[in-house]
Structure 1
């Protein structure tokens, strides 16, 4: 049985510089990832995704030339294979980008980053980072967890706890977090620790059950690339979300092709909206995607949910839904945010693109899903 598991979210991930062996590319692993359509271990909550596939960043201090070059090289690598773009924040555009990564390159600051978009200023430390380590930290900031912390990792690797430095053992714990396992385990992921990470001796801290190599890479794996583009689909074919001042899709009309950090006067009048097939929105009561929020998909009764939100929306995050591929007959776990229940569904059909649609929110069936039972309240 395959499934998707959702947990609670830790906010910070610590990692280490990659050694010389890490700079090598494991071609066999890359080809295997393409055959298996391997994905990775990601944050599941839409709130932690960057707005409009854009990641603003700035340097906390004047970085040494080699550190700045490492950051720009990492950004170029990520942009060349994903749908993301990076914008350097400055005094001219800072008001446009209130959420941003502040990069600290001071020696001794280590390598660490928060998972996904946290809101406002968030630090990424690269003082002890190589170029590949910078890619690793950006992967965390994009929304990816360590691959070896997946809930199913014990089926693929062995963690040798007695060989790990005591102060680093928490880095090897399975996530008790709001995360999502997408498809198979990715040995080649940029987020996977190498065999001897934080070892107290010459013995490995991680070994694979099938002899697959880990910790040898020259950038994002094919699985990492698939994962990032799964989280951030292309906006080239983006359809419009249409907001209306009156119920029943009537009255004054306001069109959104991308997210809007401030709706202005229209925020007090929103009563209904049309969400295109394959899209979702998050409505926030405060500007710049902050404060109390509610989520809507193209399948929801939006007028009823907007009414419960007191007709007070200041910003709208427009999201093109992630590619939802599955196997008919698989059972999935769904964290229902509308009733706070954990529910079990069986996939019963796919659309013409071999993708599945949204889960029902009221313990019922739809064309894609058969409701089985509630696991907990």
Structure 2
């Protein structure tokens, strides 16, 4: 049995049994609504709603400069720890969400031992990623106990950690969506800044777990993000990674 398979089996045994009392619910709503609600009390201005400022990411431009997680053989091993603030059910829910990456990509989340670079999941203030993908040392990922424990939110924040940005911020977004600045809440324009992303030859994806809803940071209930091909299109409702999300991981990491 290879070490990677052993780790997968170990993590599988940690998963909380479906339907067990105390397990977090996986019922979800609009990704951006979950994140906006959970992050409402954060005083630090965030970029795109859930990223601490001072970073430049569909894949972050830095992925061409060595900030990818390293690949060993066929797998990209990403060490992680889960903070003691969580109950057993909550810890296992996060672990189960991480295991979804194992099913269709070469990403393997492994419990940290002595690795210098790793992800640290903790119940902080909101659903927030601390900095760009694979910055040296610990990368903090806040998943607030009462507000962020949904599979799509865990996947969303982990995709940031792997090097991916929001759909509405990708470099070619103007061909697919219009940003209605007149409807944006005052002071929230930074959440709609376009980024010089590497789109990996994949199409804009309204079904991506990285796609926010059409009323993201609306001041009046009217859309801030509008699909050009169909202005009535409802999006931002993904409850799990799309086929494109998975394809992008496999392209970026050459799975």
TM-score over 0.5 for the pair:
yes
Compute the displacement of 1:46 (Å).
4.8
Residue 143 (structure 1) aligned with residue 163 (structure 2) = yes
CA contact (8 A) 1:149 1:174 kept: yes
Pair 1:104-2:127 in alignment: no
Kindly state the Cα deviation for residue 47 of structure 1 after the two structures are TM-superposed. 1.3
Distance 1:166 1:57, change over 3 A: farther
Q: 1:69 to 1:162 in 2, by over 3 A?
A: farther
Q: Which runs of 5+ in 1 are unaligned?
A: 1-17, 23-39, 235-377
Shift of 1:155: 1.2
CA RMSD of aligned residues (A): 2.3
Shift of 1:187: 1.6
Bigger shift: residues 126-135 or 116-125: 126-135
Greater fraction helix: 2
Greater share of strand: 1
Checking the alignment, whether the CA contact within 8 Å between 2:184 and 2:219 is kept in structure 1 is yes
Which TM-score applies when normalising by structure 1? 0.47
TM-score by length of 2: 0.68
What pairs up with 1:179-218 in 2 under 5 angstroms? 179-183=197-201, 184-211=203-230, 212-218=233-239
Instruction: Work out the CA distance in 2 between the residues paired with 1:172 and 1:155.
Output: 15
Deviation per CA, 1:324-372, whole angstroms, max 9, x where unpaired? Answer: xxxxxxxxxxxxxxxxxxxxxxxxxxxxxxxxxxxxxxxxxxxxxxxxx
Extract unaligned runs of 5+ from structure 2. Answer: 1-26, 32-56
The match for 1:20 is: 29
After the TM superposition, which residues 54-203 of structure 1 pair with which residues of structure 2 at under 5 Å, given as runs? 54-89=77-112, 93-94=113-114, 97-106=115-124, 109-113=125-129, 114-127=131-144, 128-129=147-148, 130-175=150-195, 177=196, 179-183=197-201, 184-203=203-222
- Could you list the structure 1 runs, at least 4 aligned residues long, displaced by more than 6 angstroms after superposition: none
8 Å Cα contact 1:146/1:191 also seen in 2: yes
Judged with a 3 Å threshold, the aligned counterparts in structure 2 of structure 1 residues 208 and 151 are, in CA distance, closer, same or farther, namely same
1:189-225 CA distances to partner (integer Å, 9 max, x unpaired)?
A: 1111111222223212211011244212121111111
Q: Is the 8 A contact 1:115 1:144 kept in 2?
A: no
Render the CA deviation track for 1:259-298: whole Å, top value 9, x for unaligned. xxxxxxxxxxxxxxxxxxxxxxxxxxxxxxxxxxxxxxxx
Structure 2: distance between partners of 1:138 and 1:120:
16
Checking the alignment, whether the CA contact within 8 Å between 1:55 and 1:85 is kept in structure 2 is yes
Larger radius of gyration: 1
